[in-house]
Structure 1
């Protein structure tokens, strides 16, 4: 179904509708502060596997990422965050960044790739933050790529719905999305390293 949600003041009943779908094993498409993403409850293995199939990802090799509501929640799923990394997260989140951290014990088994890392995001988008808040734990996030020769990512939720209405449970219309993904920073070594330049400005 196509569900329009106010991007500035998300309607509570619609957020609850999305959360109920996630709790039932649903797969959703939702807006972020960069591109639209595919998501599900990180603790629902079948839903995670479905998204990996949709994106042709191998969970054992792919760097899967999660959306958290804040830095405090990130700390529940990452291994120990030192003071420098904490300051880095605090300075850039919420925002268009994905930070690669060492995975902690709270990360579901399917997310633990060979490097034992996890990508974490806190997007500056109220819809997805409200969803994570209401669900009580993070959701999976992976960018929704397009086959278009010009636009690498889907931007119009109506087009997304036409292409994915038989593949996912809910497509959230939160307005036109961006076409530049998040900036990815690897924080697993002593010095943070830029893995992908994206929407976030990184000095």
Structure 2
């Protein structure tokens, strides 16, 4: 692990701890991130993206243990889906716990993904809290396919830009699966 990697983790954590927004590479797209437990930070995400806060956000966790701390009841099928998934998979769970109220959807669900890339896992592990991940574009605009396509309002609107993987093209967007506590499974996006 290079010193650059460590420095980027440190700078990102300092920004997140202050309730600031970071622009960071995730396992899918470049994302705007913040502390998923901090309502003021989440509010800044909606303001920057110019979208209503009734639109649910995704949050990233580092591992199953962190997932279990933030969801009241994880259906067994969730582990099967995550084990079998061949690409990043976001699952929408009922009754999230300890996350910012304004990040949670109106039906009291939260979309959560266990991060699969090294940078996100390290960052979230060290931060010890889930991090919001939403695409780095204004509401209604296309998701940027690489760092070069991210618009000025986003670049200027975040407190810190992670200086890694600027040359990396996005991976495919994650699958999104909704799991009800009653055992229902619904594919929202393949």
TM-score bracket relative to the smaller structure: 0.7 to 0.9
Q: Which residue of 1 aligns with 2:67?
A: 74
Q: Which residue of 2 aligns with 1:36?
A: 30
Map 1:47-58 to 2 at 5 A.
47-58=41-52
- The SS at the match of 1:11 is helix
Bigger proportion of residues as helix: 2
Runs (4+) off by over 6 Å: 146-149
Q: Which residue of 1 aligns with 2:185?
A: 192
Describe the shift of the 1:165–1:112 C-alpha distance in structure 2 as closer, same or farther (beyond 3 A). Answer: closer
How far the C-alpha of 1:156 sits from its partner, in A, is 3.0
Q: TM-score scaled to structure 2, two decimals? A: 0.85
In 2, Cα distance between the equivalents of 1:62 and 1:76?
Answer: 23
How far the C-alpha of 1:154 sits from its partner, in A, is 1.5
In 2, Cα distance between the equivalents of 1:181 and 1:145?
Answer: 14
Q: Deviations over 1:67-105 (max 9, x none)?
A: 000111111111211322232233338x41110001233
In 1, Cα distance between the equivalents of 2:22 and 2:169?
Answer: 15
Gaps of 5+ in 2: none
| 1:143 lines up with 2:135 in the alignment | yes
Count of paired positions: 187
How far the C-alpha of 1:160 sits from its partner, in A, is 2.7
| 1:12 lines up with 2:9 in the alignment | no
Q: TM-score scaled to structure 1, two decimals? A: 0.80
In 1, Cα distance between the equivalents of 2:139 and 2:43?
Answer: 22
Q: CA RMSD in A?
A: 2.7
Q: Which residue of 2 aligns with 1:167?
A: 157
| 1:96 lines up with 2:88 in the alignment | yes
In 2, Cα distance between the equivalents of 1:105 and 1:169?
Answer: 27
